[in-house]
A and B are shown apart, each in its own frame.
Chain A
Amino acid sequence: MSEPNTLLERQQSIAHPMAETDSAALAALVRRRRRRRWLINALRLLLLVALIGGWELGARLGLIDSFFWGRPSGIWQQLVTWVLHGTAQGPLWVQIAMTLEEALLGFLIGVVLGISFGVLLGRNAFLAELLGPYIKAANSIPRVTLAPLFAIGLGLGSQSKVALAVVLVFFIVFFNAFQGVREVDRNLLANARILGANRWQLFREVILPSALTWIIASLHTSFSFALVGAVVGEFVGSIEGIGLLIQNAGATFNANGVFAAMLILAAVALLSEIVITALERRLLRWRPTALSEVTL
């Protein structure tokens, strides 16, 4: 909870009356923690500046070939152009909205399917044993390779991208939900049954909340996978979207464009992460804080 007292503080607490030293020690502790916080933030900023500055400087001095590797000022320029004048495929926000829509739709469908099947198989040992090997086999396939298949089957519209995102998200959520349901404390189940819970109450009040810890942990990674699904789908063939933007930038040797699109994707992923973390805080507020606040 608190950092260990220094020898000095300990000596003070012996020398002075109780209340006085307590508040003094506490103030010192708060001060030290604030100073540490400030130092870390300052160093972080410094690191960023050094990294970007070094890149820019390297590019200007000719150490880094900015034709192949781009440069920060060029990336910034590209972003400004896209925002102010739109991209070759139309306004920037349309591209973002397109990719986001595909990712979000794929994410939602994948999550619902993953939870449903995970809970079903987690509760039904017979089904789990029956389908186990097939699910493991399906999981071992590198699933992005399905992208061309979906493009053939579902066309160049958003459906093929949604499908790819669904497949990517499904397996992550499925395995977590499955494991979560299997790990439900048997004592809790027995207790709920003795207290009078019927099957539905058992599911809603015990199994689901218990599995939710696992499921929510999987949501963090699965939204990034949904984005990957949408973008890779757009690589393979599309009319709009950030994936196409990257594809075009790459095809025209526009390294700055690739980086700029990448930044946009990163921002989208970061935003979604904030939303999911907020959701996690809300749904899992019963957990000890030490556990739920281990974030980087």
Chain B
Amino acid sequence: MQHPQRNLSPASSPTPRSPAQEVPSTRYSKDSTPVIELRQVTKRFLTPGGQTYTALRDLSLSVAPGEFCALIGPTGCGKSTTLSLIAGLDTPSAGSVLVMGEEVHGNDPRIGYVFQTDAVFPWKNVLHNVAAGPLFRGVPRREALERARSWIARVGLAGFEDRYPHQLSGGMRKRVALAQTFINEPQILLMDEPFSALDVQTRTLMENELLQLWSALSASVVFVTHDLEEAIALADRVCVLTAGPATVKGIYTIDLPRPRNVAEIRFDPRFVQLYHDIWEDLRDEVMISYERAKHSS
């Protein structure tokens, strides 16, 4: 049992519009500094038409060390924007983003990011894709390749070192992406709908593998998804975001025991109960987003 029941402190999770929820007693002390903290973050973009578009408004969120936090919300609500702010790929228009208690400045080597679309380098074979991180960071070549080989084996791709991405299936490419990210041993793992392009069976497999890899790494995870089942099955905590501009609508602690089997946990009565509760909250936002999409088209 690497992961006994993980519950979260209510103090570490500011919930501006959160419905009243009972959060059970916690593993994390109330004064443990959050790994990621977003304080009243607003992000505006300038549209090509010259208007401002507000993606995030007064979003506050914090993630504790080792916590698996899922962000869920309707499509296009600003979930990915949140991740790119944490990763330092973009800067907030107002408010502050803190990682390990410090304001984010450019790229942080402690952060790993798994993208929604394929972001493995098509001109590198599997070995060099996985070794890219250490090589960029100046690890000696021999050592980097050695580590890459062991990570390739860990994600079950041993024997495929010489293949190029186009020779692999979608699920295999995702494994490469995971190995590529995990080899840097990030303390913070940001995942932007990483499995949304996979078929359902592959997806369940990958989710289980992710949980295994994560438990060995003990990183904090922010996992963006629009799939509520996936969010509940994986996370310690699920944050429901409103239809854009996004802000936190509700935060739910997932008190399902670990280790979990993603394929089977869906039949757990507690899972069904949580799904029901969160869906109540999420449904309104999905409807708002749907209505908007209908009007704009």
Contacts and interface: CB of A to CB of B under 8 A. Distances in A.
Interface of A: 185, 187-188, 190-198, 201, 205-206, 209-210, 284-288
Interface stretch (B114-122, B259-267, B268-276, B284-292): B114-122
Contact of B136 (A195, A210, A288): A195
Which of B84, B109, B166 is the most central at the interface, judged by chain A CB atoms within 10 Å of its CB? B166
Name B's interface SS: loop
A188 to B, nearest CB: 6
Please tell me the size bucket of the interface on B.
Answer: 20 to 34
Contacts of A187: 115, 117-119
A286 B122 contact: yes
B121 A190 contact: no
8 contacts: A185-B119, A191-B113, A192-B132, A195-B133, A196-B133, A205-B124, A286-B125, A286-B165
Contacts of B132: 192, 195, 197, 205
A198 B132 CA distance: 12
A165 B42 CA distance: 54
Contacts of A286: 122-125, 164-166
Contacts of B109: 196
A205 B123 CA distance: 9
Nearest to B183: A195
Contacts of A195: 132-133, 136-137, 180-181, 184
Interface of B: 84, 87, 89, 107, 109, 111-113, 115, 117-125, 132-133, 136-137, 164-166, 180-181, 184
Given A194-B113, A196-B109, A201 B121 contact: no
Contacts of A188: 119, 121
Contacts of A209: 121, 123
Nearest to A185: B119
A193 to B, nearest CB: 6
Contact of A190 (B115, B124, B181): B115
Nearest to A291: B166
A213 B69 CA distance: 40
B116 to A, nearest CB: 8
A166 B115 CA distance: 42
Contacts of A287: 122, 166
